[in-house]
Amino acid sequence: MMTASSNPFLNGVFKAQHNEATLSDLSVTGVIPPELNGRFVRNGPNPQFIWSDNYHMYSGDGMLHTLSLRNGKAGYMNCYIRTPRFLCEREQGRAVFPGMRDIALVEAEFENVPSFTANTNVIEHAGRMLALNEGSPPFAIMDAAKGDAVPDRFGGIIRQTFTAHPKLSPKSGELYGFSYITPDGLVDYSVLDSSGRARLITSFRPPYAALMHDFAMTQNYAVFPVYPLTWSMERVQRGEPIFQWEPELGSYYYVLNRLSGEIVKIFRDDAILGMHVVNAYEKRGRIVLDMVLMDDIPADAQAFADDSISYLNTLNRISLNLENGVLLRDRLSDLNVEFPRIDERWTTEPYRYAYLASTLNPHLPGFIFDSISRYDHLWGRMETFRPDEAVLFGEPVFVPVGAQEGNGYLLSYGYDQNKDTSDLWIFNAMALMQGPVARVHIPHRVPYGFHGNWFDDSSSR
Ligand SMILES: [Fe+2]
């Protein structure tokens, strides 16, 4: 039986931050690079109220943590994303909506309040800031300082939900994405042009209802990994967990023509599980697809039953041969990693560097990261920086400086377990092993979260 004190998502680095703060002129160790003028905004689950001790982090309210850097100075603010669910529970002063693991009916009085959360990613496109969660429609953030948010269904294109991992075409400014939680079980594949006008490209039926957290894009193709972590509302209605690991179903990769949506080829693989795509590109009739994968999941694994679908997560390269249909898969490193990022100007292109949160301490669970790593595809080498202090890192976001791939900085929130405070760690991405060039000290805890992005002041977006 889970208790509040034994649930990892309610303690330590996951413990919710209820204080919404606005802080200026933060103290800094080192020197903030003068090229960094903008905002690092990160989303993550931060439950306002807990329905039960059985809480899972996927269910928490979204919170935006914004670290502003300007002329070598740093400020910080955090705010809840004010979805209808959040506002309803705030008004009631208690949890109204059950979490992912709690099978319970919402009280009749609140049946018409959408239970969506917006806790996974935050992006800007066509002048809009969007908070994303794959089980919800996008939420447009109307005021980043107050967290005011309204659902944005892209002019009706979004039927129900939208991925937290859309892909921006660096050349065209188009944003490609998909929805897999739909009324008829189809996957809707769609695109927004650079001005934000949305178009449904196609809908296709996956082999089974899988958790589809991410997808990949190359210059000519969209690739949808389908892994046998299935979801089922019928199971929920029977009082069973929504997710189930069903390895006998095997894994698939649906390759679609990126522009027309026509299914070009379907590849089959053994049962594996991956949450995040690193990058993908085309090379001599093949698609090279880099992903973080779990390829050693026991056949009898109980998804989410032990707070973990997280066995060993490693960096992998998958080759999909479009001519002969052969799939090859190679583990590139045995290091436990997650939250991959790249220099996103190289999205859909052959690229050299991947940046990852990583775990050196073998005693930590696989979803806790004590270090930051960079993988160099040219030399096939992983380099890892781990500080002497007990710091737990989140996703490293790359900020480009200059035209060359990989020239720039890595930003990541690091939580100090002893002080219960967080720093923004800033690394020179070309000199990761030299340690941070600056640490911005935030006098409160920034809990573990999911994804963020850098919004540069000079950007026209
Ligand atoms: Fe994600």
pLDDT on residue 5: 76
Reported as a single tens digit per residue, the pLDDT across 158-216 is 999 999 999 999 999 999 999 999 999 999 999 999 999 999 999 999 999 999 999 99
Q: Is the dihedral of CA 9, 15, 20, 23 positive or negative?
A: negative
pLDDT on residue 103: 67
Look at the block and give the residue holding tokens 């997710």.
243
User: Is the pLDDT confidence value at 441 over 60?
Assistant: yes
Bridge partners, 22 (sequence order) = 77
C-alpha of residue 120 to centroid of ligand 1, in Å: 7
Q: How far apart are CA 62 and CA 78, in angstroms?
A: 11
- Does residue 339 fall inside a structural domain? no
C-alpha of residue 355 to centroid of ligand 1, in Å: 14
Mean pLDDT taken over the chain: 94
Question: Count of domains in the chain?
Answer: 1
- Does residue 296 fall inside a structural domain? yes
Q: How far apart are CA 257 and CA 399, in angstroms?
A: 30
C-alpha of residue 344 to centroid of ligand 1, in Å: 16
Report residue 108's pLDDT band, with 50, 70 and 90 as the boundaries: confident
- Does residue 207 fall inside a structural domain? yes
Say which DSSP state 91 is in: H
| Sheet hosting strand 314-321, strand order edge to edge | 273-283, 286-294, 314-321, 327-331
Per-residue pLDDT, averaged over 294-321, amounts to: 82
C-alpha of residue 201 to centroid of ligand 1, in Å: 23
pLDDT on residue 11: 85
User: Is the pLDDT confidence value at 101 over 70?
Assistant: yes
User: Is the pLDDT confidence value at 104 over 60?
Assistant: yes
User: Is the pLDDT confidence value at 29 over 90?
Assistant: yes
In degrees and rounded to multiples of 5, residue 17 shows phi and psi of -105, 110
- Does residue 370 fall inside a structural domain? no
Report residue 461's pLDDT band, with 50, 70 and 90 as the boundaries: very low
Closest among 207, 151, 141, 219 to 180, alpha carbons compared: 207
- Is residue 170 classed exposed, middle or buried when 0-12, 13-18 and 19+ CB atoms within 10 A define those classes? middle
Reported as a single tens digit per residue, the pLDDT across 338-362 is 999 999 999 999 999 999 999 999 8
High-pLDDT (> 70) share of the chain, %: 97
- Does residue 143 fall inside a structural domain? no
For 201-222, the three-class secondary structure string (H helix, E strand, C coil) is EEEECCCCCECCCCCEECCCEE
pLDDT on residue 243: 87
C-alpha of residue 275 to centroid of ligand 1, in Å: 6
Closest among 64, 65, 47 to 56, alpha carbons compared: 47
C-alpha of residue 3 to centroid of ligand 1, in Å: 27
Look at the block and give the residue holding tokens 């189809």.
186
Per-residue pLDDT, averaged over 302-329, amounts to: 86
User: Is the pLDDT confidence value at 418 over 50?
Assistant: yes
Report residue 219's pLDDT band, with 50, 70 and 90 as the boundaries: very high
pLDDT on residue 306: 56
- Does residue 255 fall inside a structural domain? yes
C-alpha of residue 29 to centroid of ligand 1, in Å: 30
* Non-local CB neighbours of 344 within 8 Å, separated by 6+ positions: 168, 170, 398
pLDDT on residue 9: 86
* Non-local CB neighbours of 201 within 8 Å, separated by 6+ positions: 189, 190, 191, 259, 260, 261
Closest among 141, 145, 140, 291 to 227, alpha carbons compared: 291
* Non-local CB neighbours of 389 within 8 Å, separated by 6+ positions: 416, 418
Per-residue pLDDT, averaged over 249-278, amounts to: 97
- Does residue 65 fall inside a structural domain? no
Contact 386, 360 (CB under 8 A): yes
Per-residue pLDDT, averaged over 63-75, amounts to: 97
C-alpha of residue 213 to centroid of ligand 1, in Å: 6
Reported as a single tens digit per residue, the pLDDT across 120-172 is 999 999 999 999 999 999 999 998 889 999 999 999 999 999 999 999 999 99
pLDDT on residue 47: 94
C-alpha of residue 323 to centroid of ligand 1, in Å: 31
Reported as a single tens digit per residue, the pLDDT across 240-249 is 888 899 999 9
C-alpha of residue 339 to centroid of ligand 1, in Å: 7
Per-residue pLDDT, averaged over 398-403, amounts to: 96
pLDDT on residue 305: 64
The alpha-helical segments, DSSP class H, found in 306-439 are none
Per-residue pLDDT, averaged over 319-330, amounts to: 98
C-alpha of residue 368 to centroid of ligand 1, in Å: 15
- Does residue 428 fall inside a structural domain? no
Closest among 158, 154, 156, 190 to 174, alpha carbons compared: 190
Report residue 460's pLDDT band, with 50, 70 and 90 as the boundaries: very low
Give the structural domain span for 276. 171-332
In degrees and rounded to multiples of 5, residue 171 shows phi and psi of -85, -45
Contact 72, 26 (CB under 8 A): no
